[in-house]
Amino acid sequence: MSVIAAIAGREFRSFFRLPVGWIVIALFLLLTGAVFATAILAPGQPATLRPFFAIAGWLLLPVVPAISMRLFSDEIRTGTIEPLLTSPIRDGSLVLGKFLGATLFLLAMFLPTLAYPITLWSLSDPAPDLGPILAGYFSLALLGMLNLAIGTLASACTSSQTLSFLVALFVMLGMLLIPSFPAHSLPIPAQRALEFVSLTPRMSDFARGVIDTRHIAWFVALTGWLLVLSTLALQSRRWR
């Protein structure tokens, strides 16, 4: 456990020691700030962050792959993975440590956005409903972790950060675009499969303030499976 914490801590701190971490935070705050200023902070609008959480998937699209691409690709390219793979730590601990470090950074990135609900509270009367805001942040964290797990897998598969970024970006984009896909022309099982991996209905529920345990289980299970696959991808490097 201490080893996982050591890896997570190093990963988390490294984002703040490098320009990439600050650029990612600035980019995310710019995007969310623009959404808040134009779609939420408008006179006559209801005091809710629903539009913000409803497009959260799109807001994370450019920033999460920029976080995850470093996790393994950079270490494989520079060779720093070698001291780690020859240390007495399990590959799974390495993956989990790096994923947790990136997740902590993601959560730290969300912190400044708390200014938006605080602004709403101070400006609007009646005050905004707390439930959907808490559920929205919870869904943002779940979605961020799922996207990070996709990025972790992409990063464990290649030494190219560019490739890792693009693969994570396109998979995330694909999941967001599923509702626009003309699924009615597909056989029923394929339609069901598409519905199963679609993010939009789950995110909409969270944005309405509905915390459905089925949705939580879906996010956690998918994230877990992606981390298992990342561990296998890392292990497969030993056999190549």
Partner 1 sequence: MVALDRVHKWYGRVHALRGVSFELHPGQVAGLLGPNGAGKSTTIRILTGMIPPDAGHASIRAHDTLNQSLDARAKLGYLPESAPLYPEMRVADYLAFRARIYALDRSRRRPAIDRAIERCWLRDVRNRRIGHLSKGYRQRVGLAAAILHDPEVLILDEPTNGLDPTQIAQMRTLVRELGSDRTMLISSHILPEIEQICSRILIVASGELKADGTPAELIAQHGGPSRLIVEARCTPEKAGLILGLPQQSPCLTELSEGWTRIESPCAPHEPDPRERVASAFASAGTPVRELRLTTATVEDVFLALAHGREGTP
Q: How far is CA 82 from CA 87, 96, 103, 169, 236, in A?
A: 9, 17, 24, 27, 14
Q: How far is CA 109 from CA 27, 44, 183, 210, 230, in A?
A: 10, 29, 35, 24, 24
Nearer to partner 1, 122 or 239 (CB): 239
The CA distance from 106 to 115, in Å, is 16
Alpha-helix runs per DSSP H in 18-129: 19-35, 50-54, 56-60, 64-68, 75-78, 81-85, 91-110, 115-123
Tell me which stretch binds partner 1 (CB under 8 A): 75-83, 108-116, 212-220, 224-232.
Answer: 75-83
216: Cβ contacts below 8 Å, ≥ 6 apart: 142
Helix (H) or strand (E) holding 72: none
Nearer to partner 1, 40 or 75 (CB): 75
Nearer to partner 1, 75 or 226 (CB): 75
17 binds partner 1 (CB under 8 A): yes
Residues 124-143, one symbol each (x = binds partner 1 by CB under 8 A, - = not), give --------------------
Of 38, 45, 78, 162, the one binding partner 1 (CB under 8 A) is 78
Q: At what angle do helices 91-110 and 2-17 cross, to 10 degrees?
A: 50
| End-to-end CA, the chain | 29
Q: Which residues inside 85-114 make contact with partner 1, applying CB under 8 A?
A: 85-90
How many residues lie near partner 1 (CB under 8 A)?
24
Nearer to partner 1, 67 or 133 (CB): 67
Nearer to partner 1, 208 or 237 (CB): 237
- The distance of closest approach from Cβ of residue 53 to partner 1 in the complex, given in angstroms and rounded to an integer, is 34
79 binds partner 1 (CB under 8 A): yes
232 binds partner 1 (CB under 8 A): no
239 binds partner 1 (CB under 8 A): yes
Q: Residues 63, 144, 45, CA angle at the centre, nearest 5°?
A: 85
- The distance of closest approach from Cβ of residue 176 to partner 1 in the complex, given in angstroms and rounded to an integer, is 33
Tell me which stretch binds partner 1 (CB under 8 A): 81-89, 100-108, 175-183, 188-196.
Answer: 81-89
Binding site for partner 1 (CB under 8 A): 2-3, 5-7, 9-10, 14, 17-18, 78-80, 82-90, 238-239
